[in-house]
Amino acid sequence: MNRKVTKAIFPVAGLGTRFLPATKSIPKEIMTLVDRPLIQYAIDEARAAGIKEFIFVTSRGKGALEDYFDHAHELENTLRKAGKDDLLELLRQTNMESGAIAYIRQHKAMGLGHAVWCARRLIHDEPFAVVLTDDVVMGEPPCLQQMIEAHAETGGSMVATMEVPLEKTKSYGVLDVAEDMGAIVRAKGMVEKPKENPPSNLAVIGRYILAPTVMENLNKLKQGAGGEIQLTDAIADEIEEGRDVYGLRFRGQRYDCGSKAGFLQATVAFGLARDELKDEFAEYLHDVMAMRKAAE
């Protein structure tokens, strides 16, 4: 029986330069898709997957993110007095249990691998999840739950993968496949942003379940590296050392909310998925497209 995954690391210490000037004062993770910040989507997905401990790797200027998880007692009292039970319930659903969240500081943005390594003292000998909040996945069951269920069967480490056109592989970590079992593949290598000759069209997105040995690999990389420390390299080292790494072709649609185009696409998709918005919004989109066509 493989060990249950109950801890998740959320690396949120990046600079978010693609969203400047907004990210001068707003953490990227607080930017809202429809009416909830990106971080809420990530937390909801992790909770649905059975995660109990939430470890945020933050940095300077991310105060708003920490504040977001405070219970808003005054606001709750006001809503209660006004009889706004539905809003009160909405707020309560976002409340986190005391002690469930830990914040670790990454003092310098030295890469995703380095951010994960910063949380090493909170991870012991158990597998842990890593969730990148700027990858928002619409899926049922949620992506991380699909992974945790698959990981319970396979053990080892697991990354979420999706097929992309070969010419787009240079923007992703890409799996080199040893064995394709359908939804699950076993990897024999993993390359970060290959400039040429990608080993497959299976791109890695921001959901991982990692064996505790990945932290040891990060430790070694930390000692050797001058620049950014890549999580991909620490996962590739697992394979080198003879441990299993799997990819899961998750069911669902991933949006890259770290890019402007991806964020806009997600806004449309999540807007259209809302019962209270979809009719008005779909009509608006239809009119916009019709006007564009007429102008061509």
Chain residues in the site for ligand UTP (CB under 6 A): 11-18, 57, 106, 109-112, 114-115, 132-134, 258
CB of 231 to ligand UTP, least distance (A): 9
Choice between 31 and 177, CB closer to ligand UTP: 31
Residue 30 near residue 56 (C-beta atoms within 8 A):
no
Q: Give least dist CB 143 to ligand UTP, A.
A: 15
| 79 versus 159: smaller Cβ distance to ligand UTP | 159
Which residue number has the CB closest to ligand UTP?
14
Query: Of the two residues 112 and 190, which places its CB atom closer to ligand UTP in the complex?
Result: 112
CB of 96 to ligand UTP, least distance (A): 19
Q: Residue 208 or residue 250: which is nearer to ligand UTP going by CB?
A: 208
**Least separation in angstroms between CB 179 and ligand UTP:** 29
To ligand UTP, the closest distance from the beta carbon of 288 in angstroms equals: 27
- CA 254 to CA 252: how far, in whole Å? 7
Minimal distance, residue 115 CB to ligand UTP, in Å: 3
Q: Looking at beta carbons only, is 117 or 154 nearer to ligand UTP?
A: 117
> Min. distance of Cβ 199 from ligand UTP in angstroms?
21
Minimum CB distance to ligand UTP smaller for 26 or for 115:
115
d(CA 130, CA 10): 6
Question: Which residue's CB is nearer to ligand UTP, number 134 or number 233?
Answer: 134
Torsion of CA 286, 259, 235, 129, to 10 degrees: -70
| Cα–Cα distances in angstroms (integers) from residue 263 to residues 18, 73, 171, in the given order | 11, 31, 17
